[in-house]
Amino acid sequence: MESLHGKSQSPGVAVASRHPRKLIYELLQNLMVDLLGIVTTMFYWVRAEGDSGILKLPVFTFV
C-alpha cells in the first residue's frame, strides 16, 4: 500500500518512500532472528526430549 501511495504523490515525496522500505527490511530481519530462535529452541527441545518432543511442543512457541 505504501509503495502505491509513494508513486501517486509528487516526486519529492518519493524520496521519503525509502523509509517504509527500510522499516520493512528491519521488520524482516527481526522476523528472521525470531524464526532462527524458534527453530533453534525446537531443535534443542527435540534433541532433549527425543522424537516425541515435537508432539509435546506448546502452541505459544510458534507465536
Determine, yes or no, domain membership for 31.
yes
Quote the number of domains for the chain.
1
Nearest Cα to Cα of residue 62 among 26, 44, 37: 37
Three-class DSSP category at 61: helix
Determine, yes or no, domain membership for 23.
yes
| Containing structural domain, residue 30 | 18-62
pLDDT at position 31 is 92
Determine, yes or no, domain membership for 52.
yes
What value does the mean pLDDT take over residues 4-20? Answer: 55
Please determine, for residue 29, whether its predicted confidence score (pLDDT) is greater than 50: yes
